[in-house]
Structure 1
Amino acid sequence: MPSTSAPRHILVTGSSRGIGQAIAAAFVAAGERVTVHGRSEESASRAMAELGAAGAIGVDVADAVALEAAIAAAAERNGPVEVLVNNAGGVETAPLARLDVDALRRMMALNVEPVLTAIRAVVPAMKENGGGRIVTIASTAGLKGYAYVGAYTAAKHAVVGLTKSFALELASAGITVNAVCPGYTDTALMAESLDRLEAKTGRTREALLKDFTKVNPLGRLIRPEEVADCAVWLAGPLAGAITGQAIAVAGGEI
């Protein structure tokens, strides 16, 4: 891995809100040169202004050609990507009786394929420059099973599998590849889920939140900043011997 004395170009996908935004903010605070990403130019530009980032790309990560072009454009503006954080993704819920192949394909297209696309886009320059860091935000769903999110769980397991395979392939090039697997995290997405469940079930928010946190021995949601801190550490100079890992940030759930 090259020296980290000078600011590095960090690309964080899915960084217009939530965990991704917390990760981008942490790298900006560390003095790095950060490119943020959103599904639209508007959301990406807004995040760039809010965080004081160095650049922004707005693109649907499921569009492989567009994602490759956006990463190339970011590299032209801010130099080769030295740290890639794959955070973009999403979840669908459905019981087995309503889970079809199309749902599985959607989850793979959103959560797995962009990881491969982005990694392929940044690795040649990382090899040329003597190393790099790749961190993918997976989920505890990549380490265990959850009911009613079978397709999402399968996708996150696939992400962890890619991480372990690519870590072996890229180690000799000085590139580390790791996954961070958060448990239920206190984000706007979680708040929206609680809102929907509260309206649908009539249960209190407190009762619903207790259901989400009962699997966590700490008895609380994970903070986005805790996930961000793990990502920043994995990208740091003293994590050069950490590769092929799927690290749970989950309060002891795993």
Structure 2
Amino acid sequence: MRDEPLHGRHALVTGGSRGIGTAIARRLAERGATVTILGREAVRLEQVAKEIGADGFVTADVTDRDALTAAIAEAEATHGGVAILVNNAGAAESAPFLKSSPELFSRMLSVNLESVVTACHAVLPGMIAEGYGRVVNIASTAGLKGYRYVSAYVAAKHAVIGLTRALALETAERGVTVNAICPGFTDTDLLRGSVERIVEKTGRDEAEVISEMVKDNPQKRLIAPEEIADAVIWLASPSARSVTGQSIAIAGGEVM
């Protein structure tokens, strides 16, 4: 592990107890980073941390600014300053725009954008002081193009892309990089749950539902969480020190 380029770097992954977040945390641990996963459910976090070899966990609802800030401070008190921040926590709600209430927009902005702002406020001073830091925001292809019936989610993810670009410019001379990864439809338990609900509601079979989801993906397949994780490892590595302000789509060639 001492030969790994991330050895000794404290990495914190929000939404680390399932799906893409767990895959990212696992890869970071395999590459020698000291990994803290953050989520809402302590029992599940403890189980996942043991399973993937993470060094610890902290609990917080990322939409609670004070709780998230305190959880990050707790992680830093235990394992040192966060050198690699992966803002992975997020959520999506769907509705036609004219049925999308202000409250829905507020929820989507809170979980997908404001949580990123809070986490970055918490860790960037330490990164700048150390002259080293990696921030990776897990956005979405919805941050690069529009989709029907998820206008609030699209707006929030576009904002994450804009924030990423602005922070990259502000930190470019401080040894810190800030990038976004934009996955297409990814094979997680949350997506499978959505597929099951669509199957129950429409009577269509699972393969047909997934085929509809990936119709804009030229490879016609779901993205594996490990593909996202490998991109994070690259962005966190010394070899990507000149890559900042980028929004990297991992979507099988989908046109943005």
Task: Name the CA distance, whole Å, in 2 between partners of 1:78 and 1:94.
Answer: 42
Partner residue, 1:102? 103
1:173-214 Cα deviation digits (max 9, x unpaired): 111000000000011011000000000011111111110111
Task: Name the CA distance, whole Å, in 1 between partners of 2:53 and 2:192.
Answer: 26
Is the 2:6–2:237 contact (alpha carbons within 8 Å) kept by the matching residues of 1?
no
Compared CA separation, residues 202 and 5, structure 1 to 2 (3 A): closer
Is the 1:11–1:83 contact (alpha carbons within 8 Å) kept by the matching residues of 2?
yes
Shift of 1:5: 6.3
Is the 2:184–2:249 contact (alpha carbons within 8 Å) kept by the matching residues of 1?
yes
Q: Greater shift after overlay, 8-17 or 90-99?
A: 90-99
Report SS of the residue matched to 2:181. strand
Instruction: Report sequence identity in percent.
Output: 51
Partner residue, 2:45? 44
1:1-254 aligned at under 5 Å gives the runs: 4=5, 6-254=7-255
Report SS of the residue matched to 1:72. helix
Task: Name the CA distance, whole Å, in 2 between partners of 1:190 and 1:5.
Answer: 31
Write the letter of the residue equivalent to 1:233: W
Task: Name the CA distance, whole Å, in 2 between partners of 1:107 and 1:15.
Answer: 19
Structure 2 gap ranges (5+): none
Shift of 1:43: 2.2
Task: Name the CA distance, whole Å, in 1 between partners of 2:44 and 2:207.
Answer: 31
Task: Name the CA distance, whole Å, in 1 between partners of 2:45 and 2:67.
Answer: 15
Write the letter of the residue equivalent to 2:205: T
Shift of 1:4: 4.0
Is the 2:7–2:34 contact (alpha carbons within 8 Å) kept by the matching residues of 1?
no
Task: Name the CA distance, whole Å, in 1 between partners of 2:168 and 2:20.
Answer: 23
- Runs of 4 or more off by more than 6 Å in structure 1? none
Shift of 1:242: 0.2
Task: Name the CA distance, whole Å, in 2 between partners of 1:5 and 1:222.
Answer: 25
Task: Name the CA distance, whole Å, in 1 between partners of 2:146 and 2:139.
Answer: 13
Shift of 1:96: 1.9
The normalised TM-score by structure 2 is 0.96
Is the 1:40–1:60 contact (alpha carbons within 8 Å) kept by the matching residues of 2?
no
Task: Name the CA distance, whole Å, in 2 between partners of 1:97 and 1:172.
Answer: 44
Task: Name the CA distance, whole Å, in 1 between partners of 2:6 and 2:145.
Answer: 38
User: How many equivalent residue pairs?
Assistant: 252
Shift of 1:6: 3.6
Write the letter of the residue equivalent to 2:51: E
Task: Name the CA distance, whole Å, in 2 between partners of 1:42 and 1:12.
Answer: 17
1:51-73 Cα deviation digits (max 9, x unpaired): 11111011100000010010001
Task: Name the CA distance, whole Å, in 2 between partners of 1:158 and 1:42.
Answer: 32
Is the 1:26–1:232 contact (alpha carbons within 8 Å) kept by the matching residues of 2?
yes
Shift of 1:49: 1.4
Report SS of the residue matched to 1:112. helix
The normalised TM-score by structure 1 is 0.97
